[in-house]
Amino acid sequence: MDQLYLDTAASAPVRREALEAAWPYLAGAFGNPSSHHEFGRVTAEALEDARARVARVLGMRSTDIVFTGGGTEAANLAVNGMALGGLPDATASAGTDSERRHIVTSPLEHEAVLASAEYLRRRHGFAVSFVDVESDGTVTPEALRAALREDTAVVSLGYANNEIGTVTDISTLAEVAHTVGAHVHTDAVQAAGWLPLTGLGVDAITLAGHKVGAPKGIGAAAIRARIPVEPLIHGGGQESGRRSGTENVALAVAFATALELAEAERVDATQRVALIRDDFIAEVLAQVPGVILTGAQPAGAGSARNPNHASFCFSRTSGEAVLLELERLGVTASSGSACAVGSDEPSHVLLALGIDAEVAKTSMRFTFPASITAEQGAAASAAVVEAATRLSLAFS
């Protein structure tokens, strides 16, 4: 069969509609949106239209939306920006007993969030607490409540984990965090197009364009306009002073277009792909010796696992070997987070779940596109069974 791409968690194919929407602002309408002439007004109107469209998908206001260079920058702006924005200007480095200098996150978060928390600890004297997680990656309200303090400034918990697919009940956890006055951020990069993005009750939500079919290099941090935010990038004060630099109008338009399409297709895609995913997981678990499902159990579109996500550890073989064999058989997948490629270390997510380090090195992730068919899903599971079983015998 043709090569089947099952790594959309790393990057989704670019939608033709997104490229077509962006083209006029690459070829003809080239003006700087900050310029006070007709060329600038054309692009400024397109930029604000894109901002309003993204806001509608998120159920937020246009003034909340900050366009960024991608999901990593968006997460940094949300976590660092809200934490530092809440400090008095005169004491941003000194600290007083009344200041909020405590961050709560989980050990399963994307590196963009974990590194932001570490930066706040190392450079600004924040304390960082990691909430306890269940063996499937879920976070309970009780666990979050135990990690909170009266001086908690920001709680950052991902909506859908990129490595194990576990979905967090973020709206319930946001209610818990708000009891101590903390601001709540959720990384929704993997959730867009698969989970509802409105009514989450959070103060900040971050997205990456290339996960929903826009080109790489565009993202958004939606942060309530009432919340003070310390910018990461200083300069001309674009994006309401939260992110300086001339905006990439073409990519903002492409992102808004792709996000709208993903949201319009979400309910149908979720219901259809979840069934294909469930059959895929059941087949692999039934036929591959020593395989371990990581993350939440699948159970259709309403499970605590992202509808398009399957992840395993092939404990009797090598994940990289399975990956190479699968590619030979026509299936492209991933050995884990794309942000950790080149590292020989086991996944920090899997280690936090209590999985043995050597077993964690055998992990593989399969993330399905919305276009996958039942026939392709069956062919993919057959390829996984063939590759993993053959290599399991070879390694035994």
Return the axis-axis angle of helices 111-124 and 71-85, rounded to nearest 10°.
Answer: 30
Q: Do residues 128 and 117 touch, judged by C-beta distance below 8 A?
A: yes
Indicate which residue of 232, 339, 340, 385 is catalytic: 339
CA separation for the pair 250, 98 (Å, rounded): 44
CA separation for the pair 26, 238 (Å, rounded): 20
CA separation for the pair 76, 154 (Å, rounded): 12
Whether 339 is catalytic is yes
Q: Do residues 130 and 181 touch, judged by C-beta distance below 8 A?
A: no
CA separation for the pair 9, 162 (Å, rounded): 6
Cite the beta strand spans of the chain per DSSP E. 4-5, 65-68, 102-105, 127-130, 152-156, 183-187, 204-208, 219-223, 291-293, 309-314, 331-332, 363-367
Q: Which amino acid is at 19?
A: L
What are the angstrom distances between the C-alpha of 328 and each of 190, 203, 322, 331?
27, 45, 10, 7
List residues with catalytic annotation: 339
